[in-house]
Amino acid sequence: MERLKSIWDYVATASFLGQEVWRYAIFLGIVFAALVAGVIINFLFRKALKRIADRTETALDDLVLAALRWPAKLVVYTLAVRYSALVFVFPDDPAFQAGFRKFFERASLVLIGLIVAVVLVKIIDIVIAYLRPKVAASESKLDDQLLPIMGKLAKIFALTLMGLLLLQNLGYNVTSLIAGLGIGGLAVALAAQETLANIFGSIAIFADRPFGVGDRVQVEGFDGPVESVGLRSTRIRTLDGTLVTVPNAKMAHANVNNVQARPTIKKLFTINLTYDTGYEKMAKALGILREVYGNEENFENHWVYFSDFGSHSLDILCIYWCKELKYEEYLKISERVNLEVLRRFDAEGIEFAFPTQTLYHKSGDQDIHEAMSPPAPPRER
C-alpha cells in the first residue's frame, strides 16, 4: 500500500518537459479510449448494423453504412486529439495557452466539418448511382438528364449549409453575412434575370415533360430530335444536321409540336387514273388498293375512295396510318407498298394520268397536241 502511495505521489508531483506526469497519463488514456472506440465502431458497422441492413431488400443502406464507417472513426480520432492536447497547460505564458487551446478547438472543428461535408457528398453520389439504373429503365429520357443536375444541386446545397454551420461555430456572424449576400444576391439576380428565367424554364420542362431526349420536335421554326436538356438551354439536332440551342425560357413558353408523340404517321395522297380507265378498271383499281393496304400489318387503318372527276384524271383519294414511327423504316414500308400497287396496276393494264393540255389548231386538217407537266407530290401528315 505504501508502495502504491509513493507511486501516486510521484505521478502527482513529478514533471517531464514542463508538464506533470499525470497529464501524460491522461493523454495516453484518451488515445487508448479512441482506439477502443474505433474497434467498437468497426464492430458496429461490420457486424451489428450490417446484419440489420442485410435484412432489407434495398442495397442502398449497405452502401451508406460502408461510406460512414471510416468517417465515423476519423471523427472519434479528431475529438481524441483535440481533448488530449488540451490536457497540457502552459502557466508561464497565458496568451500562448489561450492560443494553443483555440487553435486545437478550431482545427478539430474545421476537420470534423470537412469530414461531414465529404460524407454528405459521398452519400449523394451513392444515392445518384443507386437511382441511375432505375432512371435508365424508365421510358422518358428527361429524367436521365435531370438526375445529374439534381445531384449537383444537392451537393451545392449540402456544402453551402455545412459552410454556414462551420462559420457559425467558428464565431463568425452568419446572419449579417447572409444579409450582405442577400443584398448582393439581389443585384446579381437583377443582372441575371435571363439566366434565372432559363433555369426556371428547365424546371418547368422537367416537371411537365412535353418532350423527351431523342424525341423529334418542331419549335420556333426548327425541326429535329432533342439531343439534350440542360439548366440553361435545350439542344436540337435539325434534320439538316445543324445543332440549334434554344433557351429554356423560350422552350417553356413556345408551342412545341412533339412529332415523336404521334401514335402513327399519316400519309394522304391522290392517285390519278386516265379518263379511259372505265368503270371496271376503276373498280379493279379500288379493290387492289384496299387489298394491298389491308394486308400491310404495319398499317393501323386506311381509306381508299374514288373521290373526284378531275380536270385531267379520275382521282382516287388514299389515306393510311403507319404504325412504324422510325422515318426510314416508314419509307421502306411505303416503298414496298407502292411497288406492289404498281405491279398489280401494270398486270391489270391500269394507267396513271398526268396533267395534259389539248390545243386545237385549224389549218386544213385538225391537229391535236398534248403537253405534259409533272403531277403534284403526295402530302404527308
pLDDT per position as a tens digit, 61-86: 666 767 777 777 777 777 777 777 66
pLDDT of residue 321: 94
Higher pLDDT, 187 or 154: 154
Higher pLDDT, 245 or 131: 245
Domain 265-380 architecture: 2-Layer Sandwich (3.30)
pLDDT of residue 142: 61
320 CB burial (10 A radius; 0-12, 13-18, 19+):
buried
How far are the Cα atoms of 15, 271, 343, 357 from residue 352, in angstroms, in the given order?
Answer: 117, 8, 13, 16
- Give the mean model confidence (pLDDT) for residues 41-52: 70
With bands split at pLDDT 50, 70 and 90, how would you rate the model's confidence at 40? confident
Higher pLDDT, 270 or 181: 270
pLDDT of residue 233: 85
Do the two domains 211-260 and 265-380 of this chain adopt the same fold?
Answer: no
- Give the mean model confidence (pLDDT) for residues 83-99: 65
Q: 217-243: per-residue pLDDT in tens?
A: 888 888 888 888 877 888 899 888 899
Q: 190-207: per-residue pLDDT in tens?
A: 555 677 777 777 777 777
Domain ranges, ordered by start, for the chain? 2-137, 211-260, 265-380
pTM tops 0.95: no
pLDDT of residue 371: 46
Q: Are residues 147 and 134 in contact, defined by beta-carbon separation less than 8 angstroms?
A: no
Residue 277: pLDDT above 50? yes
Cell of 353: 394520268
- Give the mean model confidence (pLDDT) for residues 43-70: 69
How far are the Cα atoms of 63, 75, 100, 107, 139 from residue 78, in angstroms, in the given order?
Answer: 24, 5, 16, 9, 48
Q: Which H/E stretch holds residue 149?
A: helix 142-169
pLDDT of residue 261: 81
pLDDT of residue 347: 93
Residue closest to 350 by CA, chosen among 251, 252, 281, 279:
281
Which residues share a beta bridge with 379?
268
CATH numeric code, 211-260 = 2.30.30.60
- Give the mean model confidence (pLDDT) for residues 121-133: 79
Higher pLDDT, 106 or 300: 300
Residue 180: pLDDT above 70? no
- Give the mean model confidence (pLDDT) for residues 298-324: 93
87 CB burial (10 A radius; 0-12, 13-18, 19+):
middle
